[in-house]
Structure 1
Amino acid sequence: MTYSLAGRCPETGQIGYAVATSSVCVGARVGTVTSECVIFSQARTDPRLHEVGLRAWPGAAGDAQTVVDAMCAAATAPHWRQLGVLPAEGAAAHHTGASCLSHCGAETGAHSLALGNFLGSDRVLGAMIERFEKAGGSLAERLLAGMRAGESAGSEKEPLQSAALVVMGAKNLRDVDLRVDFDADPLSAMGGLLADWLPKAAAYRVRALDPDNAPSSAEVESR
């Protein structure tokens, strides 16, 4: 009962994902990202499969299907699992088990991967990909735009309750890492968080990389 969107930006080198679901605290269960890939485990989620994917990645030589195969092999009852991998370069791969609730499946774009199950219509995934691929702005803004397009196209069959948005930037630092654990309109709440965070993100990056020249807390919060 989840839909998610992974995306990458060739211009900035960022890669990240957004996810929403009709249960609480989705950010604790669905999705992980490194500078090299996004990995999803959802539907009847087993978050431990993210670690399986991360362990398989180095030996996969960037082959996303090899990672998905390793996750399927490690999964208990893979027919209930929905898995996906979007690499920083190359083709995405995905698996939707036969027991995942309809509408369900995956779609890919030039730089994106959408997964979903228990969706309100069969148009959700295509709407997410189309909006992401055409949207402007930062990667985080494009991911959120894709999620909102999916919501407008049918969302889930149950009301959304939580969302998460994560973007990995240069030097293995997360440029965005936001969660809405419980809200009647989590994607709108996420939009508010993102609008507040983005003007401050660069300052916190400086704090990590060059603390001697980092702005003070008061300077950051005034942005």
Structure 2
Amino acid sequence: MTFSLVVRDEATGAFGIVISSSSPAVASRCAHARAGVGVVATQNVTNPALGPAVLDALAAGADAPSALAQVLAGELFPEYRQVTVVDAAGRTAVHSGANSLGINTHREGENAVAAGNLLADEQVITELLDGYSTSSAASMEERLLDGFRAALAAGGEAGPLHSAGMLVVEDVPWPVTDLRVDHSDDPLGELAGLWDVWRPQKNDYRVRGVNPTSAPSYGVPGDE
């Protein structure tokens, strides 16, 4: 019921994820990223605790395959879990349990992993990764959306999508982009619309956190 793409930008070290599902509020359970550490998607029959646990293992020095193996060793139901990881060196890892739903598959690329379950076709995951990696967009967010668009054009999930999210971390401890569509008949369209609103303000909000004395105005009445 979910497909996702987790990536690391080799030039900047930023991490990002785009994810969509027929279930509501998918990003709140399944998208996990930590600046300077890594990015994780936890999906299929989701255990949201796996994401922070893998990130903690990465932060403690494990690489992506070791961190995933370490966390899954303590998971009671690994056969129900689908988990993807990219670490700070761009190494990747993926686990698709035997009870992953419907048509399920994954593809590992350079600094990236795409995976999904209950897919319309396995080609969806190939197009998800290729749509991102061949995008010429300047921002990671737009490249992630290009991957999402390509996956939908290839058929997406077996059923209708209802939620989506996009999470990006860069060089500050908080997400620089964290956009979610929790329930909609057009999650891609609404996520792209949220990005259009957020894009021109993204750096302003970063500056406000780093150095409010040089931050631009809020653009509200009384703010000079």
- Quickly name the TM-score band, shorter chain normalised: over 0.9
Secondary structure of 1:108 counterpart? strand
Counterpart residue identity of residue 169, structure 2: M
Give deviations 1:136-186, integer Å, cap 9, x for gaps. Answer: 220011111101111111211110000010100112232211000011010
Instruction: Provide the aligned C-alpha RMSD in A.
Output: 1.3
The alignment's TM-score, normalised by the length of structure 2, stands at: 0.93
Q: Report the equivalent of 1:145.
A: 146
SS at match of 2:158: coil
Q: Comparing both structures, which one devotes a greater share of its residues to helix?
A: 1
- d(CA) in 1 for partners of 2:71, 2:28: 19
Aligned twin of 1:21: 21
Distance (Å, rounded) in 1 between the aligned partners of 2:175 and 2:90: 22
State the shift of 1:88 in Å. Answer: 2.7
The secondary structure found in structure 2 opposite 1:42 is: strand
Task: Structure 2: state its 5+ residue gaps.
Answer: none
1:120, distance to aligned residue in structure 2 (A): 0.4
Segments of 5+ residues of structure 1 without an aligned counterpart are none
- Worse-superposed segment, 202-211 or 86-95: 86-95
Q: Distance in 1 between matches of 2:62 and 2:149?
A: 30
Contact 1:8 1:139 in 2 (8 A): no
Match of 1:172 in 2: 173
CA distance in 2, matches of 1:74, 1:105: 23
Contact 2:58 2:87 in 1 (8 A): no
CA deviation after TM superposition for structure 1 residue 62, in Å: 4.5
Question: Aligned-pair distance for 1:12?
Answer: 2.5
Aligned to 2:114: 114
Distance 2:180 2:2 in 1: 15
How far apart in 2 are the matches of 1:163 and 1:88? 25
- What SS does the corresponding residue of 1:172 show, helix, strand or coil? coil
- What's the secondary structure of 1:46's corresponding residue? coil
Correspondence for 2:216: 215
Give the paired residue count: 218
Partner letter of residue 95 of structure 1? H
Per the alignment, residue 32 of structure 2 pairs with 32
Counterpart mapping for 1:1-223 below 5 A: 1-35=1-35, 36-59=37-60, 61-137=61-137, 138-218=139-219
Please state how far the C-alpha of 1:74 moved relative to its aligned partner: 2.1
The answer as to whether partners of 1:85 and 1:94 remain within 8 angstroms in 2 is: yes
Q: Confirm or deny: 8 A CA contact 2:120 2:157 kept in the other structure.
A: yes
Q: Say if 1:41 and 1:47, in contact at 8 Å, map to a contact too.
A: yes
**Residue type of the partner of 2:167?**
V
